[in-house]
Amino acid sequence: MPETPDPTVYPLDHLALRGERNAPALVLKDRTLSHEALNARVGSLAKWLKSRVGEQGARVATWLPKTELACLMPLAAVRAGLVHVPINPLLKRAQVAHILADSGSSLLISNKGRLDTLEVGDAACPVIEEAAVWAEVEAGGGELPPSDAAPDSLAAILYTSGSTGRPKGVMLSQANLWLGAVSVAHYLKVAPDDAVLAVLPLAFDYGQNQLLSTWYAGGTVVPLDYLTPRDVVKAVAKHGVTTIAAVPPLWLQLTELEWPTETAQCLRRLTNSGGALTVPLVQALRTKFPAAELYAMYGLTEAFRSTYLDPSLVDQHPTSMGTAIPFAEVMVVNDLGLEAQAQQEGELVHAGPLVAQGYWQDAERTAERFKPAPAFSKLGGMAVWSGDRVKRDAEGLLHFVGRRDAMIKTSGNRVSPQEVEEAAVATGIVAEAVALGLPDPQLGQAIHLVARAVSGADRSELIPALTRSLPNFMVPRHVHWREAMPVSPNGKLDRVALAAELAEESQP
């Protein structure tokens, strides 16, 4: 693979043309599509979409598990001149109704079980079952040829999980998605003989890129809607999977399972985003999968992906976010608006062609997050001001400090939740943890730690251990033990749900 990836932008649906004609592209439950068949199916679905929704640039929503149609829609919608709005299948009717109304979708494709949950007025647009779509596709026949969509034309609107307020739609262009696929395929060194297990939701930017980067490289995607983590182990063994992308809660579950040696050795690379890796988790992954390269990454839906850590550095710098990915300029801006020096905390700002076009029909929130790059930027233009606080060390590697709006203010001190959580996990007593600040009349905010214990650990030793490792003002005042931790629709630990739960418990 060349040192610098090709920056040329093609319409997104051209990804279906990248692989060898007869090589496998998509492994479905009942059959496998070659790259040639993938392109044909994209073309036939696109022809149906264009006949059903004729308006150029209209939005088409899907609310599906990882079926064939869900996998093909990112390419088929573009080929039909439409904009895809993927809805996480874990969302419920009220959230779906909001996304349909906000996006102004002209059509919703789903399955019977989900459509039956909708109430009158939830969908102002026509709805159709996936099975009926394929029946009409087959009856209509024919294909649309590859498109000539402009690089800056809108390709998709991805709705964030709505951890603060209602979900907002991030507008992604052909260039955003194409260059994101090129960048990831390049630095992960994905090859045509790779099989990527797609376990993350396809409505998640990181999940959708599982498809796009793999097809760019000419590889094979194996979609999986797993019920238990053991389903992942079985899929790796069955399909000879070489690559898994996941978030920390799933990685933790996978390390707690017994893996047959030959199955674990199938894996060439493990990629993480959606939350920081802890030192114990890095060690567990390196022990469980010694033949696999571990890529720690940091991303924003508003800029897709910002940084990655070279796997050769993960043992020495297990908690680092690494450096900028290809096509990204990542800066640390201090509170004076200047470039932060080594070890100086600042806001992460991302510039370059991966920056999204803003939030759909939301000029106010777009202006808050998308602003001109700082004066010292090399690429300039519009940048994403993340709100995340980071530091760059003397070696140039980035380290996450915390979100500005998530910092706990206790006894006049600013405390990073992540620092408390990492300290809790480092004791060996805690498997997963979330630190939250709740109102306290004397402290301003008191630190509450919600935790799941390591099997067999002595929970009573946690506070003494934290007292030995943390300043007194950082030691949690309250610990709430859970047998299981809630996760959001994107698989991350659900801080919002836990905060609401604790707030309710604290009511008199």
Structural domains in the chain, sorted by start: 407-505 (3.30.300.30)
d(CA 393, CA 416): 18
- The Cα-based distances of 290 to 242, 285, 293, 431 in angstroms read 13, 8, 8, 21
Q: What is the largest CA-CA distance in the chain?
A: 71
Task: Name the token pair of 35.
Answer: 């790259």
Asked whether the beta carbons of 347 and 336 are under 8 A apart, the reply is: no
β-pairing, 444-453 vs 478-481, is: parallel
Beta carbons of 292 and 270 less than 8 angstroms apart: yes
Nearest to 172, CA basis, from 4, 373, 25, 384: 384
Q: Which single residue is written with the structure tokens 């990112």?
A: 74
Residue 325: both structure tokens together: 């990915």
Burial class (CB in 10 A: 0-12, 13-18, 19+), 223: buried
pTM for this model (two decimals): 0.87
User: From CA 78, how far away is CA 153, in angstroms rounded?
Assistant: 9
Residues in the chain: 508
Burial 354-372 (b: 16+ CB within 10 A, else e): bbbbbbbeeeeebeebbee
Let me know: does 301 contact 158? Beta carbons within 8 Å. yes
DSSP 3-state assignment of 413? Answer: strand
Q: What is the pLDDT of residue 238?
A: 98
pLDDT score at 463: 97
At 162 the pLDDT is: 46
Coil, strand or helix at 239: helix
Instruction: Give me the pLDDT at residue 113, please.
Output: 96
Residues of the chain with pLDDT under 70: 1-2, 161-165, 404, 412, 506-508
Say how far apart CA 485 and CA 432 lie, in whole Å: 8
First-residue to last-residue Cα distance in the chain: 62
Q: How far apart are CA 153 and CA 36, in angstroms?
A: 26
- Provide the 10 A C-beta neighbour count for residue 67: 21
